[in-house]
Structure 1
Amino acid sequence: MVVVATSIITSCSTTKYVPKGEYLLKKNKIELNKEDKAGKLTKSEIQGYLRQQPNRSFLGIKAGLMLYNLSNPDKNNKWNNWLRKNGDPPVILDTLEVEKSVKQIKSFVDSRGFFQSVVDDTIDYRKNSKAVVYYRIWSRQAYRIRNITYEVLDSLMRDMILRDTLEAVIRPGMVFKVEDLQKERERIETLCRDSGYYAFSKDYVSFDVDTTIGNHQIDINVVVSKALYQNELMQSIEVLHHKYKIRNVYFFVDFDPQKAIEDRKAYYSGLDTSYMKGFYFVSKRDSGYLKKKVILQANYLFPNTIFNLEDVNLTRKHLIGLNVFKFVNIYFSEVPQPDTTKEIRLIDCHIQLSPITQQSYTVELEGTNSSGNLGGALSFNYQHRNLFHGAENFNIRIKQSIEALAQEERGVKQIMGTDVEANLVFGKFLSPFFNREKFVKKFAPKTTVTTAFNYQRRPDYTRTIFTTQMMYSWQTSRFVSQLVSPFSLNAVKLPYIDPDFLAHLDTTTYLAYSYRDVFISSLNYSYIFSNAKLKKKSDHLFIRFNAETAGNLLYAGYKVTNRPVDSSGSYNIFGLQFAQYIKADIDIRFTNVLNEFGSITYRFFAGAGLPYQNSRALPFERQYYAGGANDIRAWHVRSLGPGSYVEKNSGFYNRTSDMKLEANIEYRFKMFWVLEGALFLDMGNIWAITKEDDRTGALFKFNKFMNDIAVGTGLGARFDFDFFIFRVDLGIKMRDPGIATGNKWIMTKGPLDFHRDLVLQVGIGYPF
């Protein structure tokens, strides 16, 4: 222990491995003098152009550097190699890199229109072998665009390009930015390639920029050049750009790229070609892999039509979306023509479709995390991606699970579960409406039919749920998808309730009605917006709105036909009281990426459900709860609320109610190895919105709900192993609405009670 402690203390010297006469880069400081606020230069942008960054730190602690300093450079064993590999070596100040950074900053600032800017640096060498580098930027006044002219040298393209200048990225009066010129080049390229100019590229677009006119103004001349063509003498000459028309479209339905490369002639000689509705299908002689109709529904490229880049991208996207191809490759070949002077040339389109394995099964042993209840599961999964040769995706899953359930008085108990679920996904709407080819091509609709059975045995009750659901989903834009379930049928039964828990339920009418056998026939709608990019870390927004209503048609039918009610005054179906309610909620998340090492995620959630007519309480499965690993982390799951209500001598964490408000902020930052850190602040609660709930303090009231807000903070660690993230969060209660009298801020009442006020949450993945 003494040796380990001595090693750690020694490693705290961050300059331990800094060579004599060298300096550890402690910090970069950027001083920005902005004379023109319209330029919007920020320190975070300039940070990206610094060639050297100091060792990462959090609250002044350079954990990665400390880990590296624990190693012994004279030893080459596994332990020391691991320390050096996963720690951060000291960043030694390099004055040449500082000079390069100054040049890069100057180049960047110029690209943003600050041509008269001045950039310099100062290095502060300190006694403890550390150095701080100061970068000073005087941006001065930004140059603005005065006039823009377009010089299109190709007479055939001139009118088209000039007509579309209303969509131009650059406009008079704007601050000059090089990045806007690049966007304008890309806009012109897209316009031309969407208009038939297959061979056109942004390299034909250039800019003449005149900065000599004075008064911090710029004139820009956009030049669109002619095409370059090599004649018989291998000389490059300028010619007019040609439009291209698609002659034939060939689908290689079960293309095998490996065999095509190994022996091209033998491979292609073994393929048959068939013709259908103007398209050629090339495949093996015995191939019946996928119906031709399904392929054509996902296709936007047609013979005898002008080339359009957008149609190429849509075809690739929709063919990949069928989930039956390993990869989709689209390329074009120019058709040789003796007359090269023709304005329109011909190309053939080749679409190579490599099939994915149709059937697969897996047996998985997995870790589970249900709102902070950790456990394990053994599951069997079977998948058929092309069940009826129409890209129908069939899945069946059987899972046996066990989870640890922490209870306040009874210690740790177990939840046993068995799930059987089967679903079938069709690449269209199973409906006589909305199945026209234009609708299918535009919105990529899907229908999912699901049947599931869930058995759950908890310490307090045993529950079974049988579910049948049909759901329609479609993509209305690049970032927006929508889901509608015209019917979702759930039969919920509780064959066993623990006597102590039953006695607890009987203390309030609302809870007693919540835990009953019930039949739920609901209509559901969801709207989802997400602009997150899979391969690029950038700011992104996620919004999900859900709406649900249940029991209205059944109630109207029973009412019209004068069906009898049961002893509680409610209608029943299949021997079960059916639920009647309306419910809606919204979940908004925004992630602000600060730099490559850190980000801040904000979350807001609001939801409410109202039972009426045939129901006196929302079914337990449709109620909201607070607390847990993905919620307000300073409370155990289902242990907070509703409102200021306090359960006494219950021993059960099962607090639920009709309404929920929640807000979260989490700062995430990389540390070293696979370790990431987090600081968070959670706040919110649940409430009742009907007076049927007679729990003291549970009812939501506008004039007092702010006094019911729970506040928790804490810190966490995430271990990012690429294929999954293991998370540990320590939640600390700051404000407890359950405190009956006086100040509800816990830290004003003396030292924290570690058993009561601190909660350790373990989870899989990020909390939101």
Structure 2
Amino acid sequence: MRNNLSKITLLFVIGTIIYSCSLVKRVPESEKLLTKNEIFVNDELNKEDRINNLVVQQPNTKFLNYPFGLTLYNAAKPNPDSSYQAWLNKKPNRIKNLNRFLSAKQVNRLGKSFFVSGLSNFMKETGEAPVIIDEKKAIRSKERLSGFYYNNGFIRNTVTMSIDSLGKKKGKIVYKITTGKPYFIDSISKFIETPAIDSMYTLQEKKSFIKKGDQYSYLNFDNERKRITQYLRNNGVYHFQESNVKYDAIIDDSVQKMNINLKIEDRYVKDGDTLTKRPFTVYKISQVNIFTNNTSKKERNQFNDSVTYRNFNIYSAGKLKYKPKAITNAIFIEKGKLFSDNDRTLTSKSLSNLKVFNYPNIEYVEDPSDSTNTSLIANIYLMSKPKYIWQPSIDVTTSDVQEFGISGRMAFTWRNLFKRAETFELSAKGNIGSSKDLANPNNVFFNISEYGVEGKLSFPRIVFPLDTRKIIKKEMLPTTNANIGLTSQRNIGLDKENLTGVFNYNWTPKQKNTIRFDLLNIQFIKNLNPENYFNVYTSSYNTLNDLAQDYNVDPANFENGNLTTQGAVNFINDVENGSTSLNPSDQDYKVIRSIGERRERLIENNLIVSSGITFFRNTKASLLDNSFYSIRTKIESAGNVLSLLAGTKNEDLNQNGNETMFGIEYSQYIKGEIDFIKHWDFGKKNTLAMRAFAGLAVPFGNAQSIPFSRSYFSGGSNDNRGWQAYSLGPGRSGGINDFNEANFKLAYSLEYRFRVGGNFYSAFFADIGNIWNVFDNITDEDYTFNGFSSFEDLAFGSGIGLRYDFDFFVFRFDLGYKAYDPGREVGDRWLKGVNFSKTVLNFGINYPF
């Protein structure tokens, strides 16, 4: 035993030495690899990310405490082209021998190939070069740390820096910060030269970010400078800039106090070669000129058509193509109003929202006809987008349904349809494909098809019989959309014809909030080939076929020892009619009845007419913002309008005893959802992301269940990644169906994302959730939500993911495992799916949430 222990110790020591040497393989002899930064604040080690991120040089990124990126970089050849040439010339006959098979040009190009130099170049680009300690950068870091504490009130802080050796060609940098005592604001005074500015500031002085008695903070001073500028520029002071706000500070070191003097001097104006001081002026808008169809500055004064509408002067280089109201409704800069940056920004957004113009150019010039020099002329230059757009596209696809497919789409866009900035889009799509799973007696290669047509009409306003402008103001950028579409499938599943129609409104009540109101959402689904059910839902068929071997009473249901598709239906009817030996209390009876109920639900035609409202808020400031949250809530109600209409038509009830419309049983339910996402940025491209979701759809009135298209499923690359899509739940049933769905869902996901090296990222994730049946026609307790006890049915999936960032999208590859499987017997649920052979592979584009 001692001998083995000594061998293990020796191997460990040798491995450590080799590992240590490999890290500094590309570090020059006179340099040191930066292994870590240590920051001591008042003699205590500080590990806050916001402090550590101030350091300019950071050690190489580590994955599970291993510098994967650095190792990858070190494994690459430093100069693969030179190494290749050296290899060629090492033996005199090597080039001659290669030239027997390749030309001289090909031999030289071989050095550029992936396996000779391309692999090394890829490893260097993907990996990370060693971070060599740079004293100049360390001094910059020292200055940044000092500046940070200065800006937070520690005016007399001191920072020292030292580079410590950690062995051969390795080192660390130690920063020691002594903050000293914080400084507080003792008094605030002001000096504002322009009387008008002084009066305006006094009205808003109580909103100041700078308060007497507060600890000094540069951020408060910066926010106050922005607040003053924003307020003045939104109230007519056109020439005011942030740089006009200045502060003087008198510091008393004996008591750590600061006396602040706010200074706003008159502006400097260049008059010839000299600068003169002038008071700030409050400007009003005297004219608003709108120039349409202009392509260059040279054409701005060339117009053939003009009109004055509600104090707006509209000019066009050719015949005016727009009704004046369509343009002026989108403009918030008005004659007689004070100049305002907010009006300019809102005008730009509103004009862009029309989708018929490129981004507008808005300019202000002083009105030469105003002797008081207090007027501005606003000139708005608009360039129209193309009126007609034709967009054909074609793709080659493959999926679980088809081995090979060709899809095409043709879209025609017509802008400014009724001369009020409407947009109409008509598109047609088609797909033909080949599937070996289908019967193909004529041996036709393309044996499946799907085609459809869709029309979309968008209005940049609310289209409603009543005036809604007091509720939904034009500042909220409202739009109205009307869509209608028809698709048809052949030899795909049960084959469907799908008719959809949507009439909705969208508006933005606040900058980060949007609301969508679906006044009418219609969906009609007709199954053309319900006889194909058991060819599609093979798991249900296999279960039924196995049970039929024991309980079937009619030999005509079999062919070659297996149920025919019609025989499967007959067998279900025989069981429910009591023609077999099964009793309703038997478990096998319940399974067969459940399969029959599911079949009836999925082959029935659906008529859904619903209304709903969705609220969405997203606080993300930019693409680089990794600290934000979003929340989406939705309430939808279906069937109420049809319920009223059905009472007037007096149609006969169907075989289920429910009302019909045009011979089809209509759906009736109410549905509510909430989806919350939160991201925390820990710096160094490390992010914690969380998602919580809850949704419930309750059938009532004319329905006992929710249509398949409106139900919930669990599992998949954007859900619980320990299970494939549709394979989890409901409840503890074990996901025995081909497509498992229900009307109640809970889901929670947590994911820690971090950088591995280069553009490679990774993540650890945990997903919790499940679906259940509740308030519908399913009564089996394995499927239904039964109060707090059903929280034991929450499935727990976990795993690790690898991602590659292509800048414009992220390719995602996640390995999921069933950490807790409620479909297993109690006491046998934990960690039974954590096995490499049971890995669930998930591929996706961009992050799951």
Q: CA deviation at 1:550?
A: 0.8
Report the more deviating stretch, 435-444 or 416-425.
435-444
Report the more deviating stretch, 267-276 or 538-547.
267-276
Q: Indicate how the Cα distance of structure 1 residues 230 and 284 shifts in structure 2: closer, same or farther if over 3 A, else same.
A: closer
Asked whether the equivalents of residues 297 and 440 of structure 1 are also in contact (C-alpha less than 8 Å), the reply is: no
Partner of 1:157: 197
1:526-605 aligned within 5 A:
526-559=614-647, 564-595=652-683, 597-605=685-693
* Matched residue type, 2:506: S
Over residues 198-247 of structure 1, what are the superposed CA-to-partner deviations in whole Å (9 max), with x where a residue is unaligned? 11112221112233175443332212212223456x44343321122222
Q: Indicate how the Cα distance of structure 1 residues 271 and 368 shifts in structure 2: closer, same or farther if over 3 A, else same.
A: farther
Q: Say which of 211, 230, 242 aligns to 2:281.
A: 242
Partner of 2:844: 763
Q: CA deviation at 1:581?
A: 0.6
SS where residue 84 of structure 1 aligns? Answer: helix
Q: Indicate how the Cα distance of structure 1 residues 312 and 459 shifts in structure 2: closer, same or farther if over 3 A, else same.
A: closer
SS where residue 482 of structure 1 aligns? Answer: strand
Over residues 137-160 of structure 1, what are the superposed CA-to-partner deviations in whole Å (9 max), with x where a residue is unaligned? 343443333333333222222121
* Matched residue type, 1:763: G
Q: Indicate how the Cα distance of structure 1 residues 493 and 695 shifts in structure 2: closer, same or farther if over 3 A, else same.
A: farther
Q: Kindly indicate whether residue 31 of structure 2 is the aligned counterpart of residue 22 of structure 1.
A: yes
* Matched residue type, 1:468: G
Return the alpha-carbon distance in structure 2 between the equivalents of residues 444 and 374 of structure 1: 45
Partner of 1:692: 777
Partner of 1:682: 767
1:220-231 aligned within 5 A:
220-231=260-271
Percent of aligned pairs with the same amino acid:
28
Return the alpha-carbon distance in structure 1 between the equivalents of residues 621 and 395 of structure 2: 27
SS where residue 474 of structure 1 aligns? Answer: strand
Partner of 1:311: 343
Asked whether the equivalents of residues 728 and 735 of structure 2 are also in contact (C-alpha less than 8 Å), the reply is: no
Asked whether the equivalents of residues 618 and 628 of structure 2 are also in contact (C-alpha less than 8 Å), the reply is: yes
Partner of 1:136: 176
Q: Kindly indicate whether residue 188 of structure 2 is the aligned counterpart of residue 148 of structure 1.
A: yes
SS where residue 670 of structure 2 aligns? Answer: strand
Partner of 2:250: 210
Q: Kindly indicate whether residue 204 of structure 2 is the aligned counterpart of residue 199 of structure 1.
A: no
Asked whether the equivalents of residues 580 and 614 of structure 1 are also in contact (C-alpha less than 8 Å), the reply is: yes
* Matched residue type, 2:277: E
Q: Say which of 68, 71, 93 aligns to 2:133.
A: 93
Q: CA deviation at 1:435?
A: 4.8
Return the alpha-carbon distance in structure 2 between the equivalents of residues 472 and 506 of structure 1: 46
Over residues 617-671 of structure 1, what are the superposed CA-to-partner deviations in whole Å (9 max), with x where a residue is unaligned? 11111110000111111100000001101255x5x2x000010000111222334
Report the more deviating stretch, 306-315 or 66-75.
66-75
Q: Indicate how the Cα distance of structure 1 residues 537 and 366 shifts in structure 2: closer, same or farther if over 3 A, else same.
A: farther
Partner of 2:731: 643
SS where residue 792 of structure 2 aligns? Answer: helix
SS where residue 354 of structure 1 aligns? Answer: coil
Q: CA deviation at 1:451?
A: 0.8
Return the alpha-carbon distance in structure 2 between the equivalents of residues 372 and 609 of structure 1: 29
Q: Indicate how the Cα distance of structure 1 residues 438 and 470 shifts in structure 2: closer, same or farther if over 3 A, else same.
A: closer
Asked whether the equivalents of residues 369 and 763 of structure 1 are also in contact (C-alpha less than 8 Å), the reply is: no
Asked whether the equivalents of residues 12 and 66 of structure 1 are also in contact (C-alpha less than 8 Å), the reply is: no
Return the alpha-carbon distance in structure 2 between the equivalents of residues 372 and 705 of structure 1: 35
* Matched residue type, 2:176: R
Over residues 482-502 of structure 1, what are the superposed CA-to-partner deviations in whole Å (9 max), with x where a residue is unaligned? 111111111112222435347
Q: CA deviation at 1:297?
A: 0.3
1:363-442 aligned within 5 A:
363-365=392-394, 377-400=407-430, 417-436=450-469, 439-442=472-475
* Matched residue type, 1:15: V
Q: CA deviation at 1:419?
A: 4.3
Over residues 391-430 of structure 1, what are the superposed CA-to-partner deviations in whole Å (9 max), with x where a residue is unaligned? 212223334468999x9xxxxxx99754432211111112
Q: Indicate how the Cα distance of structure 1 residues 599 and 378 shifts in structure 2: closer, same or farther if over 3 A, else same.
A: farther
Return the alpha-carbon distance in structure 1 between the equivalents of residues 248 and 326 of structure 2: 50
Over residues 85-137 of structure 1, what are the superposed CA-to-partner deviations in whole Å (9 max), with x where a residue is unaligned? 34322111112211221111101110111223333334331124222223333
Partner of 1:301: 333
Return the alpha-carbon distance in structure 2 between the equivalents of residues 371 and 166 of structure 1: 65
Q: Indicate how the Cα distance of structure 1 residues 328 and 86 shifts in structure 2: closer, same or farther if over 3 A, else same.
A: same
Report the more deviating stretch, 374-383 or 421-430.
374-383
* Matched residue type, 2:814: D
Aligned pairs, number: 731
Q: CA deviation at 1:437?
A: 8.8
* Matched residue type, 1:133: I
Return the alpha-carbon distance in structure 1 between the equivalents of residues 179 and 520 of structure 2: 61
Partner of 2:509: 476
Q: Say which of 54, 61, 70 aligns to 1:65.
A: 70
Q: Say which of 711, 720, 733 aligns to 2:805.
A: 720
SS where residue 729 of structure 2 aligns? Answer: coil
1:744-755 aligned within 5 A:
744-746=829-831, 752-755=834-837
Q: Indicate how the Cα distance of structure 1 residues 704 and 367 shifts in structure 2: closer, same or farther if over 3 A, else same.
A: farther
Q: Indicate how the Cα distance of structure 1 residues 148 and 517 shifts in structure 2: closer, same or farther if over 3 A, else same.
A: same
Q: CA deviation at 1:303?
A: 2.2
Asked whether the equivalents of residues 517 and 613 of structure 2 are also in contact (C-alpha less than 8 Å), the reply is: yes
Q: CA deviation at 1:49?
A: 2.2
Return the alpha-carbon distance in structure 1 between the equivalents of residues 434 and 616 of structure 2: 33
Partner of 2:15: none
**For structure 2, which runs of at least 5 residues remain unmatched after alignment?**
1-17, 82-111, 438-446, 545-590
* Matched residue type, 1:92: I
Return the alpha-carbon distance in structure 1 between the equivalents of residues 789 and 477 of structure 2: 47
Return the alpha-carbon distance in structure 2 between the equivalents of residues 425 and 337 of structure 1: 42
Q: CA deviation at 1:456?
A: 4.8
Q: Say which of 303, 318, 323 aligns to 2:355.
A: 323
* Matched residue type, 1:301: I
Q: Indicate how the Cα distance of structure 1 residues 659 and 345 shifts in structure 2: closer, same or farther if over 3 A, else same.
A: same
Asked whether the equivalents of residues 607 and 667 of structure 2 are also in contact (C-alpha less than 8 Å), the reply is: yes
Return the alpha-carbon distance in structure 2 between the equivalents of residues 594 and 404 of structure 1: 49
Q: Indicate how the Cα distance of structure 1 residues 236 and 284 shifts in structure 2: closer, same or farther if over 3 A, else same.
A: closer
Partner of 1:632: 720
Return the alpha-carbon distance in structure 1 between the equivalents of residues 771 and 433 of structure 2: 25
Aligned-pair RMSD on alpha carbons? 3.2
Return the alpha-carbon distance in structure 2 between the equivalents of residues 403 and 711 of structure 1: 38
Return the alpha-carbon distance in structure 2 between the equivalents of residues 357 and 103 of structure 1: 54
Over residues 528-551 of structure 1, what are the superposed CA-to-partner deviations in whole Å (9 max), with x where a residue is unaligned? 101212344241111111111111
More helix by share: 2
Q: CA deviation at 1:514?
A: 3.1
SS where residue 156 of structure 1 aligns? Answer: helix
Asked whether the equivalents of residues 510 and 617 of structure 1 are also in contact (C-alpha less than 8 Å), the reply is: no
Report the more deviating stretch, 438-447 or 675-684.
438-447
Q: Say which of 362, 378, 384 aligns to 1:355.
A: 384
Q: CA deviation at 1:365?
A: 4.7
Return the alpha-carbon distance in structure 2 between the equivalents of residues 644 and 181 of structure 1: 59
Asked whether the equivalents of residues 626 and 687 of structure 2 are also in contact (C-alpha less than 8 Å), the reply is: no
Q: Indicate how the Cα distance of structure 1 residues 354 and 492 shifts in structure 2: closer, same or farther if over 3 A, else same.
A: same
SS where residue 374 of structure 2 aligns? Answer: strand
SS where residue 701 of structure 2 aligns? Answer: coil
Q: CA deviation at 1:366?
A: 5.7
Partner of 1:104: 144
Partner of 1:332: 364
Q: Indicate how the Cα distance of structure 1 residues 499 and 153 shifts in structure 2: closer, same or farther if over 3 A, else same.
A: closer
Return the alpha-carbon distance in structure 1 between the equivalents of residues 622 and 637 of structure 2: 34
SS where residue 529 of structure 2 aligns? Answer: strand
Q: Indicate how the Cα distance of structure 1 residues 375 and 398 shifts in structure 2: closer, same or farther if over 3 A, else same.
A: farther
Q: Say which of 745, 750, 765 aligns to 1:660.
A: 745
